[in-house]
A and B are shown apart, each in its own frame.
Chain A
Amino acid sequence: MILTETYTEENQLVASLIKKDKAAFEYLYDNYKAALFGIISRMIQPDEAAEDVLQDVFIKVYHNIEKFDATKGKLYTWLLNVTRNYCIDKIRSSDIKNQNKNRSIDDLVPVINNQLFTGISVDHIGLRKLVNSLVPEQREIIERMYFEGYTQTEVAEVMNIPLGTVKTRARAAILKLRTLFDTP
């Protein structure tokens, strides 16, 4: 995340958020809305429902920003996790689950949106290529865990593979994603 002059350090931004500073929350919204909405709309459809969820998530962040621990990880990671966990809880406790049940594995292929998150300085075409270069089994594991909140045991059952294979495939997939940041 590249921060503008307003918040040269993430902890400055966080400090302002904790003070319930409006400008800080506007900054937060403007910079992270696309990333968070992308995750949500991947998990919850239609888009109107996804927007309701983004609103819920943002209100959650507003109330719980004090719980963010900068020593543990970056704000972006925290926001992604708050979002994912909220969606997973929602999916598991509602009918949305049933609507999503009939999706085939092909549907799990991420929809690449042109409105890429602007804060990140990576080649967009390279990104797309990379995500598409994940083999289907790797992608399914990541999607099941990341977007559907499956545990390793659940993934092993659904895909009918041993637990050890779940681990190694998850690792192989993320290693591939990591090369995004290794290439200049």
Chain B
Amino acid sequence: MNTNEYIASGVLELYALGALSSLEMKEVEANLLLYPELQEELDQILLGLEAYATVHAKEPSPALKDKIFSKLSFEENNQKQEAPKIKAQISEPEVKIIPLQPRYLTAVRWLSAACIALLFTSGFLLFQNSTYKSTINDLASQLETKDKEYADLKVKFTSSEHLLAEVQKPETHKILLNSKTGKADEMAVIFMNVKTVDVMVYTNQLASLPANEQYQLWALVDGKPMDMGVFDSNDSLQSTKKFPELMQAQAFAITIEQKGGSPTPTLEKMVVFGAI
């Protein structure tokens, strides 16, 4: 036990003031026997309380002394005379002394102190065990969450890496599609590999759409719109349909269409447009 912490807790003061429960008192008494420094501290505390009592000292009336002594009987001051002890005329019930118990403990008291200590210790260990268990459960569920996050990130990273690899190829052209609605931050980017005619569209700067609508990408080839496929808002990267005519495309545009797409673009709902 850390006796300094024990002393600093103030429990000895409460013991001296008689403010502890009988169980707490027994604990303190067991500790007093085990640690002499606690007993020293308690002695000092009691001195402080004596001073407090002393500050309150007050003389009772002088007549009281005779009144009290008339009610008591005393042995003759003869040391040999052990004979019949005269009891006081007033028989009083036993004094109840709350804070101060005899310093010695019998074997039984030692055992009970040990039992109490054991009870506290086992209770504490049980409590600690359940704390550890719940900590382990917490950590396990945290780990699961992190695992999921990690898997998601890995997918994103792989696709980003793929995009980066594609974009860095000299045959990949980048076509910016700028807003046609006046919203400056609305835009899309097309990456087109002019050798393989693979087209990807990067659209995470387009607004969300209601569930019954989708974006549709169009390529303008010789003035005719060609359907490049539909996609939902905020799907960051989409591979699109590919066909050889794309080599002659002059522009790309994205319109908002009913879910599933339209055979012809609804021009008044054009969101972004970019010429090659």
Contact = CB atoms under 8 A, between A and B. Distances in A.
B57 A142 contact: no
B52 A146 contact: yes
Contact of B72 (A23, A62, A78, A122): A62
Contacts of B17: 142, 145-146, 170
B95 A19 contact: no
Interface string B45-71: 111111111111111110011011101
A71 B104 CA distance: 8
Contact of A63 (B11, B16, B88): B88
Contacts of B91: 63
Name A's interface SS.
Answer: helix
Nearest to B99: A81
A54 interface: yes
B84 to A, nearest CB: 12
A71 B102 CA distance: 7
Contacts of A169: 10
B47 A59 contact: no
A51 to B, nearest CB: 5
Given A77-B100, A113-B56, A171-B8, A51 B61 contact: yes
A19 B74 CA distance: 8
Q: How large is the interface on B (under 10, 10 to 19, 20 to 34, 35 or more residues)?
A: 35 or more
Interface stretch (A4-12, A31-39, A97-105): A31-39
B228 to A, nearest CB: 70
A51 B69 CA distance: 13
Interface string A140-177: 00100110011110010000000000111111011111
A85 B97 contact: yes
A102 to B, nearest CB: 21
Which of B21, B51, B55 gathers most chain A CB within 10 Å?
B55
A146 B54 CA distance: 13
B14 A145 contact: yes
B48 A82 contact: no
A44 to B, nearest CB: 12
Q: How large is the interface on A (under 10, 10 to 19, 20 to 34, 35 or more residues)?
A: 35 or more
B43 A73 contact: yes
B22 to A, nearest CB: 11
B181 to A, nearest CB: 62
B45 A178 contact: yes
A158 B55 CA distance: 25
Given A59-B88, A77-B46, A152-B14, A38 B58 contact: yes
B239 interface: no
B50 A77 contact: yes
A131 interface: yes
B29 to A, nearest CB: 10
A128 B55 contact: yes
A116 interface: yes
A177 B51 contact: yes
B256 to A, nearest CB: 63
A156 to B, nearest CB: 10
B64 A51 contact: yes
Closest A-B pairs by Cβ, 4 of them: A167-B10, A171-B10, A177-B48, A38-B56
Interface of B: 8-11, 13-14, 16-21, 43-61, 64-65, 67-69, 71-75, 77, 85-86, 88, 90-92, 94-104
26 contacts: A20-B73, A20-B86, A29-B65, A29-B69, A33-B64, A33-B65, A35-B53, A38-B54, A38-B56, A38-B57, A42-B56, A51-B60, A51-B64, A54-B60, A63-B88, A72-B102, A81-B98, A85-B18, A85-B98, A113-B56, A120-B51, A127-B51, A128-B55, A145-B17, A166-B19, A177-B48
Given A76-B50, A177-B51, 14 more contacts: A26-B69, A33-B60, A39-B53, A54-B64, A64-B94, A77-B49, A112-B55, A113-B56, A127-B54, A146-B17, A166-B19, A167-B11, A170-B13, A181-B51
